[in-house]
Each structure stands twice: as C-alpha cells, then as structure tokens.
Chains A and B, each alone.
Chain A
Amino acid sequence: GAVVSQHPSRVICKSGTSVKIECRSLDFQATTMFWYRQFPKQSLMLMATSNEGSKATYEQGVEKDKFLINHASLTLSTLTVTSAHPEDSSFYICSARDGRGALNIQYFGAGTRLSVL
C-alpha cells in the first residue's frame, strides 16, 4: 500500500508555544488529507479536511484559529497547534487519500503524541 509519513512522532512542549506536525504522502499525490484526534482508548475524531491549494474544512467544534492547517503541495499537509495548552495534549493522526484508480482508500501516518506541560 501507499506510505504516509508523519513527523514528529512525539513532541513535548511548554504551555503557550506552537507546535507544527507534518504529514507527507511519499509515493503518491494526495489532493486531500485528513487530520484526526484520538483520545486514549477512544476512536478517531475527524478534525479537518485539508485540500491542496485551498482552505481546510473544519468539523464542528474545532477551532480553526487554534489548529492551523496548510496544504501547500500535493504531498504535504501541516497542522500547527497554536498557543498549545495542556488540554491540547492528545494523539494526532493524519491520513491521505490515494486517488489513483477508484479505490478511495485513506492511508494513515503513524501519529504524533503531543504532550503540553
């Protein structure tokens, strides 16, 4: 299957700082990427849909000024958690849609564990 790289895998930061997470599709072009948040022992919650060259679409309840998404190329989307606070501590996962053919499969990055002190 296709490969999606997510970096960093783990980040610890102080309250009030901003953190950037990168999501790259390594062997395919992804016009659409997705960002999820996962709390311990829970399912994945879609935060936003990232579209190359246009603004992201945020799910209800997700602050777009808090979670900035940039999808500047067909292989890279970034999520920036601005002015992070302890309640933002979570596991963040990205996925990229492989649009080749009609498979409509999303491939996932390995996730980023964010800990805000």
Chain B
Amino acid sequence: AQTVTQSQPEMSVQEAETVTLSCTYDTSENNYYLFWYKQPPSRQMILVIRQEAYKQQNATENRFSVNFQKAAKSFSLKISDSQLGDTAMYFCAFMKANAGNMLTFGGGTRLMVKP
C-alpha cells in the first residue's frame, strides 16, 4: 500500500514571499502520478499541479512549481509571490498508474498567507 506524508501541519508566509510545502511518499511502484490539491475555506478541492513519475522535469504552473526527487520519494510544492488567496489546506496525493486511478492523500498542510 502507498502512504503519503506531509510533515508540516501548519505553515505561514508573508504576502509576496516564497514558501515550500513538503511531501514524501512510500511506494514500490515505478509508474505513478503525484498531485497537489488546494482546499480553500470554501472546501472546494482544486488541482494545483500534477507530475508524472517518468518525467524528470519538474512541473510548473505559474507561481507554483514542484521539486520532484524520485529516488528520495519526495515531492515538495513551492509557491512563489504568495497571495492572500493562497490561504488554504494543501494536500499532496499519489496515484498508481493503470490501477483504478485511486488517489491516496497526505494529511494536509494548512497554509496561512499573512498581509
């Protein structure tokens, strides 16, 4: 079974600064996908960024980028130029390829962006 660990229950950052959220996972699979989802106070889950394990290049979406270290089984999320609207719970998630597409979520990190 896969496990996903987010070691930072809560974090805070000043507006316009950069913050990195940590995520590690444990799997024996070689082919899989990793995701970061954001859950703002509205509780709507929003996909932030996605990474295929076979790709060495780190995924980037505007102010959001990841540092994917496959050998270390690490998948951190960097948020640059933090905005007040980034305040939310962030969940790291793992999905095995070709296996029902189930997501395994980490425990989440609550991020507060301060003005």
Point out residues on A near B: beta carbons under 8 Å. 1, 32, 34, 38, 41-44, 46, 49, 57, 91, 93, 95, 97, 103-108, 110-111
B-side interface residues, number (CB < 8 Å): 22
Docked pose: A46 CA to B4 CA in angstroms: 14
Contacts of B91 in A (CB 8 A): 43-44
Judge whether A32 and B95 touch: CB under 8 Å.
no
Contacts of A1 in B (CB 8 A): 47
Contacts of B43 in A (CB 8 A): 38, 91, 93, 110-111
- Residue from the list A32, A41, A49, A111 in contact with B44, Cβ < 8 A: A111
- Residue from the list B44, B95, B101 in contact with A110, Cβ < 8 A: B44
User: How distant is B101 from chain A, measured CB to nearest CB, in Å?
Assistant: 5
Secondary structure type dominating chain A contacts: strand
Judge whether B103 and A110 touch: CB under 8 Å.
no
Point out residues on B near A: beta carbons under 8 Å. 33, 35, 37, 42-47, 50, 91, 95, 97, 100-103, 105-108, 110
- Residue from the list B45, B50, B102, B106 in contact with A108, Cβ < 8 A: B45
Judge whether B101 and A104 touch: CB under 8 Å.
yes
- Residue from the list A44, A105, A106, A110 in contact with B42, Cβ < 8 A: A110
Could you name 21 residue pairs across A and B whose Cβ atoms are closer than 8 Å? A32-B100, A38-B43, A42-B107, A43-B106, A44-B45, A44-B103, A46-B102, A49-B100, A49-B102, A93-B43, A103-B50, A104-B97, A105-B35, A105-B47, A106-B101, A107-B47, A108-B37, A108-B45, A110-B44, A111-B43, A111-B44
User: How distant is A74 from chain B, measured CB to nearest CB, in Å?
Assistant: 15
Nearest CB in chain B to that of A106: its residue: B103
Docked pose: A28 CA to B50 CA in angstroms: 20
Docked pose: A95 CA to B103 CA in angstroms: 10
Docked pose: A42 CA to B107 CA in angstroms: 7
Docked pose: A44 CA to B39 CA in angstroms: 11
Judge whether B33 and A95 touch: CB under 8 Å.
no
Nearest CB in chain A to that of B33: its residue: A104
Docked pose: A32 CA to B37 CA in angstroms: 19
Nearest CB in chain A to that of B106: its residue: A43
The 3 closest A-B pairs by CB, nearest first: A108-B45, A43-B105, A110-B44
